[in-house]
């Protein structure tokens, strides 16, 4: 997807500063500062399926030119995410790390969610334990309840083989990222969207209606983890920022 990595990384730089500001204001209500989502929502309705990738096109002549001497090839987004997972998920099987990284990259392309935000939520929810179980029945990396996951999988065309599906790391992330994307579509305030992922959308709606702030500690923790991943991922390269601004 041309320019996707550039969009993500350039806007993540802005999101990093916003995250700091939101943490400083976390004890105030309401939350109304923007939080990282790479671009405007690309999916307008909750009932939707992930579009099949477009057929590959023939490479341009410039793509066939040999790299300049001493130039290092750029890593794909999934490869860089896999490198982060080596440090943060050392107990995850290498094959599963690669599959999870690929699932996060696909989520960024399909739902325009910052991949580092997905990593932050995974670390917050399960500490990267694919077999994690919550007190209320949530399962896997992104701690999704089976009845929620079943409906999300159906809406987005993700294969569902019962609750055991959530113990597959890549499937868990695919379903969890779709659900997170739905929360961003439901709430224009990204802070509420993240809280809704944790508490459920209708509970957040009721709390907001009564003038209450949904669990700022959860939001602050996710943002702190996001900042750690952002610092480890590194700054956006100048040419990628230029690509993102030209789209």
Average pLDDT, the chain: 76
CATH entry, 4-41+76-246, from 1.10.530.10, 3.60.21.10, 3.40.50.150, 2.60.120.590? 1.10.530.10
* pLDDT value of residue 216: 79
Q: What is the spatial distance between Cα 133 and Cα 138, in angstroms, rounded to a whole number?
A: 6
Please indicate whether residue 169 or residue 43 has the higher confidence score (pLDDT).
169
CB neighbours (10 Å) of residue 85? 21
Please indicate whether residue 224 or residue 188 has the higher confidence score (pLDDT).
224
Per residue, the 3-state secondary structure of 200-237, as one string, reads: CHHHHHHHHHCCCCCCHHHHHHHHHHHHHHHHHHCCCC
First-to-last alpha carbon distance for the chain, in angstroms, is 12
> Mean pLDDT throughout 96-108?
96
User: Which of these, 237, 229, 239, lies nearest to 36 by C-alpha position?
Assistant: 229
Query: What ranges do the domains of the chain cover?
Result: 4-41+76-246
pTM over 0.75: no
| The two structure tokens encoding residue 113 | 């969610």
Q: Please say if the pLDDT value at position 159 is more than 90.
A: yes
Q: What percentage of the chain carries pLDDT values higher than 70?
A: 65
**Residue ranges with strand state E in the chain:** none
Residue 152 · residue 179 · CB < 8 Å: yes
Q: What is the spatial distance between Cα 133 and Cα 232, in angstroms, rounded to a whole number?
A: 28
CB neighbours (10 Å) of residue 151? 13
The number of residues in the chain equals 247
Please enumerate in sequence order all residues whose Cβ is within 8 A of that of 70, keeping only pairs 6 or more positions apart, or say none.
none
**Tens digits of residue pLDDT in 38-96:** 433 333 333 444 344 444 444 443 333 444 455 455 578 999 999 999 999 999 999 99
Q: Please say if the pLDDT value at position 221 is more than 70.
A: yes
Helix (H/G/I), strand (E/B), else coil: 144: strand
């Amino acid at each position: 997807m041309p320019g996707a990595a550039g969009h993500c990384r350039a806007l993540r730089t802005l999101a990093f500063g916003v995250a700091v500001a939101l943490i400083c204001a976390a004890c105030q209500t309401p939350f109304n500062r923007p939080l990282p989502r790479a671009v405007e929502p690309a999916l307008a309705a909750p009932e939707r399926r992930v579009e099949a990738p477009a057929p590959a096109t023939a490479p341009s002549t410039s793509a066939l030119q040999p790299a300049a001497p001493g130039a290092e090839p750029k890593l794909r987004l999934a490869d860089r995410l896999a490198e982060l997972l080596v440090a943060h998920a050392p107990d995850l099987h290498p094959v599963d790390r690669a599959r999870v990284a690929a699932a996060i990259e696909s989520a960024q392309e399909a739902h325009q969610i910052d991949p580092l935000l997905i990593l932050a939520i995974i670390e917050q929810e399960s500490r990267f334990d694919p077999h994690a179980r919550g007190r209320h029945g949530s399962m896997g990396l992104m701690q999704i309840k089976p009845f929620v996951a079943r409906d999300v999988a159906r809406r987005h065309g993700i294969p569902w083989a019962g609750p055991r599906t959530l113990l597959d790391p890549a499937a868990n992330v695919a379903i969890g990222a779709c659900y997170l994307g739905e929360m961003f579509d439901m709430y224009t305030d990204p802070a509420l969207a993240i809280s809704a992922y944790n508490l459920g959308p209708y509970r957040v709606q009721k709390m907001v209606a009564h003038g209450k702030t949904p669990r700022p500690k959860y939001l602050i923790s996710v943002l702190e983890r996001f900042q750690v991943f952002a610092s480890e991922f590194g700054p956006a390269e100048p040419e990628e920022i230029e690509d993102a601004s030209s789209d």
